[in-house]
Amino acid sequence: MKIGCPTEIKPQEYRVGLTPAAAHEAVAHGHEVLVQSGAGDGAGFADDAYEAARATIVPDAAAVWGEAELVVKVKEPQPQERAQLRRGQVLFAYLHLAPDPEQTRDLLASGITAIAYETVTDRAGGLPLLAPMSEVAGRLAPQVGAWTLQKANGGRGVLLGGVPGVRPARVVIIGGGVVGTAAARVAVGMGANVSVLDRSLPRLSYLDDVFMGSLTTQYSSAAAIEELLPTADLVIGAVLIPGAAAPKLVSRAQLGSMMPGAALVDVAIDQGGCFETSRPTTHQDPIYEVDGIMHYCVANMPGAVARTSTQALGNATLPFVLALADKGWRAAAEADPHLRAGLATHEGQLTSLPVGDALGLAAVTPDELLAG
């Protein structure tokens, strides 16, 4: 099979869909790998590294989209990329369709078979292709939140860890999953006063055990959030509903209860954001102010540490890439219910019920599609 890897063109996206190591593995399995020239530069992988892995360097994106049977990338295809999609082709990438009706319509119109990283599952019920980037984004969240809190950036001028005689910042993390746990680990390590909210009592118990009293856990409810907002210096939104739009947990009206210059970091922005006032931003222009509250809502946070992120993502995606290439998408999906859960569109049919619910579109399950 011809596997293609184009250069990412979303603003400030420096990751790449295939590492040279992944290309080497695919070639060893008998496949041809086409990599757009310069695709790996942002992550520190030069063309000659791919050539050493026996991949073929092609001059432009058109060559990748035009020849590849399986296209592996990081972020959702942009409008100019979606114009090059075709029926019979397979796309394997983060898609985040629920808050993106235009992309969904374009994928359906193209007839492409699209498989979304973020809804592939594992035996433990986790999301193995989202988890590495959730770890990265979670660990970045307190770091970018601390930067946002600096006075020069419009923040309160509070140091996350404080100093002797001056209290540390109060950090509220909404969501105790992979993102929230990673964020808590870094925020605690920076010396902040950390509270984590979640609706799973077993998860809260786990966090209590792991952090051994170095943070506070609280059952998540509208009342609990409302109680904590007035004293929070930094609020990190870390809530995810697989495949669906993120719930809005902080309203604009509630911003008025917060301290001027407090910061919100919305890690769920790829899924529409979990604050009512969130809107996607870029690494180039990451923050904005609403009602005196600073918002950091970069939609591709892991792109800031592209080399680490690319390697972590590549480790997770490689087994699925090889399965798709070795067996073809249908046989691979039939053999693996976890890969099958990632199926988002096929030949004009939406195969994700959460996306259908979010966008008001007819959808079937991947099982129904394959059974038909």
Question: Is 29 in the active site?
Answer: no
Residue 10, token pair as written in the block: 């979303």
Which segments within the chain are labelled E, that is strand?
A: 2-5, 32-36, 56-58, 70-72, 90-93, 113-116, 170-174, 193-198, 216-219, 234-237, 263-266, 287-290, 293-296, 343-346, 349-350
Residue 83, token pair as written in the block: 């114009």
Residue 170, token pair as written in the block: 């109060």
Q: Which of 24, 96, 295, 346 is catalytic?
A: 96
* CB crowding 170-198: b at 16 or more within 10 Å, else e: bbbbbbbbbbbbbbbbbbbebebbbbbbb
Looking at residue 75, the DSSP 8-state letter turns out to be S
- C-beta of residue 29 within 8 angstroms of C-beta of residue 325: yes
**Residue 348 zone, left/alpha/beta (φ > 0; ψ -120 to 50; rest):** left
Question: Is 96 in the active site?
Answer: yes
CA-CA-CA-CA dihedral for 19, 25, 29, 35, to nearest 10:
20
Q: Which of 100, 106, 198, 270 is catalytic?
A: 270
Catalytically active residues are: 96, 270
